[in-house]
Chains A and B, each alone.
Chain A
Amino acid sequence: MSAERAREPPDEPLLSAIGLQKRYAVRRGLFGSATASLAALRGVDFEIAGGQTLGLVGESGSGKTTVGRIVARLTEPDSGSIRFGGQDWLALSGRELRRRRRDLQVVFQDPQTSLNPRMRAADQIGEPLRVQGLARGRALRERVRELLADVGLPPEAGARFPRELSGGQRQRVAIARALATGPRLVVCDEPVSALDVSIAAQIVNLLLDLRERAGLSYLFISHDLAVVSRIADRIAILYLGRIVEEGPAHQLTALPLHPYSAALVAAAPDPDPSGGRLRIPLGGEPPSAAEPPPGCPFHPRCPIARPQCGQERPELLEVAPGRRVACFFPGEMP
């Protein structure tokens, strides 16, 4: 891409996040008079290498969307740091941040709400290029046509309004818009959750194509471990604002070390009735992020919890090369 872009030193990952923390104030009581705070993130570290995809998996309340918003600079963390492309990403502001945003774009779950209903597809796709002053006039129109083709849409689709497109086509427009500025990293927040399975598979394939063609990296956020395992090189599992396990995607799904990861692997419905799969029933309800349990946050639901787990919190430690897990008894599943 352009020569003016900052390049990270050769041995530095494209993005590294260290110690991300974020609390939200929540209103309590009838008129919201009393306030309490909810810790969405309690210290999250991860890295994304150039051209690689990190899958971030968690259930509701895990903090996965907050991670995506912080990386995209849509929400500021309370503490922690992010280096992106060799720069202190959180220190950028004003014009410098606007200029650098071209390197990091976002695709949201629901293109119905992330696209402007009154703008034609071609105008939405070209908007980041116009705003950034990267193209205008004929060059802009030419680039939009290329982007439509890149995401598998016919040129006529450019003239349509979002409501005139199907859900899958709308998500293609949102992806084309995210790609317009030639980003190095795209944050995808539940990009296929609102789509039918036959269409979701098309979009996952498109993201794989684009990654290979453009050397993109993704931070792919989803509640669905099966979808993530199709696209991610590495997977991080979030539970109540902390990563409980992180490692190479195929190792983590073949041999999960944290009991929560193991339960997620087991809970993913398997469309093969002959599969004879192990079920790991979790007791109780997912605890609230506002009142996390003491000790290991997972211990009230954990099938292998012991007394120690209710008293101390296990740190996220490297237990094998490239595999980190926060559990006193990693790999000891029933």
Chain B
Amino acid sequence: MSFTLAAGESLAVVGESGSGKTQLARALLGLPPGGARVSGHLASGGRDLLSLSEDEWRGVRGGQIGLVFQEPASAFDPVRTIGAQIVEAIRLHRPVSRSEARAIAISALRDAAFPDPEGALEEYAHRLSGGLRQRAFLALTLAPGPKVLLADEPTVSLDATVAAQVLELLDQTRAARGLGVLLITHDLGIVAEHCDRVLVLYAGRVVEEAATADLFRAPCHPYTRGLLASVPRIRSEGRREGERYEAIPGALADLSARPTGACAFAPRCPERFEPCDRSEPELYRTASGRARCFLYQGAPAQVRP
């Protein structure tokens, strides 16, 4: 898997369960799951990260690369105030005094749209609503001034109206600070509205990469097309009798049971043809990006309907 993330860019990593998106997040934080090994090349701000020692990683994690995930409650120590924890995070990564750190914490909470940032310093995480807790988590993560933010399903546990507020806030911060955001999500609606570029993952590999507008206008990989078609949209016409929604047949096979030497999506693919069962496709160029599908082999400029 290869990709780059520019300053101020928002890159989406989209995948369903078993696609490997969580493993990717762990690898990027130098925390590969037990027994796994990360190989290849990983760098941020010109620094090679794969050669770092565990001690050096601790400086990068939370410092250069920030993380927000789904459940903000587990990011905070329940018996310490939010302020104490943000101040601690800042001083861990920046050589500032306690009072300077406090001032930075207040401005981080203000940036996170807390109406009373000084009061919020004295709050405990469990006393906040889900939306405020996620915004406090964002303040905690952004206060040390990371260059890259890894956001793993940051709004999955929030109500739709509250999730919209948190994503809006993330967009503003990205624009204001030139923060690179890697947004890991299963929700294509969020991708459409908040990301510049998309990587679609299936069975542990990138199967398509494109700019967001291109991906939604003309998805190339049959999996991407099926996924887009199966996203529920609000429909405002009356339903016709017998009408059904697009769905991808079957289910993602267990990663460990995946057939080798064939396309991993072939068993569910409506466009499967001879080469799909004989060998694994590479990422081929498409009109607007890359797709891991034999339909695009040797047809760089082909535009699919």
Chain A interface (Cβ within 8 Å of chain B)? Answer: 59-60, 166-169, 196-202, 204-205, 208-209, 212, 223-227, 229-230, 233, 248-250, 253-254, 263-265, 267-274, 279, 281-282, 285-286, 288, 301
Closest 3 CB pairs of A and B: A269-B189, A254-B236, A201-B247
B236 and A229 contact, CB distance less than 8 A: yes
The proximity string for B residues 19-40 relative to A, scoring 1 for CB distances below 8 Å and 0 otherwise, is 0000000000000000000000
Selected contact of A250 from candidates B191, B237, B247, CB within 8 Å: B237
Selected contact of B192 from candidates A167, A196, A225, A272, CB within 8 Å: A272
A71–chain B nearest beta-carbon distance, Å: 23
Q: How long is the Cα–Cα vector from A193 to B187 in the complex, in angstroms?
A: 12
B227 and A198 contact, CB distance less than 8 A: yes
| 23 A-B residue pairings within 8 Å (CB atoms) | A196-B17, A196-B252, A197-B188, A197-B230, A197-B231, A200-B230, A212-B241, A224-B232, A226-B233, A230-B239, A250-B235, A250-B238, A253-B234, A264-B161, A269-B187, A269-B189, A271-B192, A273-B193, A274-B216, A282-B161, A285-B162, A286-B131, A288-B129
A229 and B235 contact, CB distance less than 8 A: yes
B187 and A202 contact, CB distance less than 8 A: no
A268 and B245 contact, CB distance less than 8 A: no
A320–chain B nearest beta-carbon distance, Å: 16
B233 and A271 contact, CB distance less than 8 A: yes
Please report which residues of chain B, range 40-92, place their CB below 8 angstroms from some CB of chain A when the two chains form the complex.
none
Question: A199 and B228 in contact (CB under 8 A), knowing A253-B235, A269-B187?
Answer: no
Provide the residues of chain B in CB contact with A270, threshold 8 Å.
189, 192-193, 233-234
Question: A274 and B186 in contact (CB under 8 A), knowing A166-B251, A224-B232, A285-B132?
Answer: no
Q: How long is the Cα–Cα vector from A205 to B239 in the complex, in angstroms?
A: 13
Smallest CB gap from B130: residue in A: A60
B17 and A281 contact, CB distance less than 8 A: no
The proximity string for B residues 215-252 relative to A, scoring 1 for CB distances below 8 Å and 0 otherwise, is 01100000000111011111111110111111111011
Provide the residues of chain B in CB contact with A200, threshold 8 Å.
230, 232
Most buried by B among A201, A202, A223, A271: A271
The total of interchain contacts (Cβ-Cβ below 8 angstroms) comes to: 143
Question: A208 and B190 in contact (CB under 8 A), knowing A199-B251, A268-B234?
Answer: no
Question: B16: CB under 8 A from chain A?
Answer: yes
Question: B160: CB under 8 A from chain A?
Answer: yes
Question: B164: CB under 8 A from chain A?
Answer: yes
A202 and B247 contact, CB distance less than 8 A: yes
Provide the residues of chain B in CB contact with A224, threshold 8 Å.
160, 232
B234 and A265 contact, CB distance less than 8 A: yes
Question: A263 and B17 in contact (CB under 8 A), knowing A168-B251, A268-B189, A274-B217?
Answer: no
Question: A271 and B188 in contact (CB under 8 A), knowing A196-B16, A205-B245, A281-B164?
Answer: yes
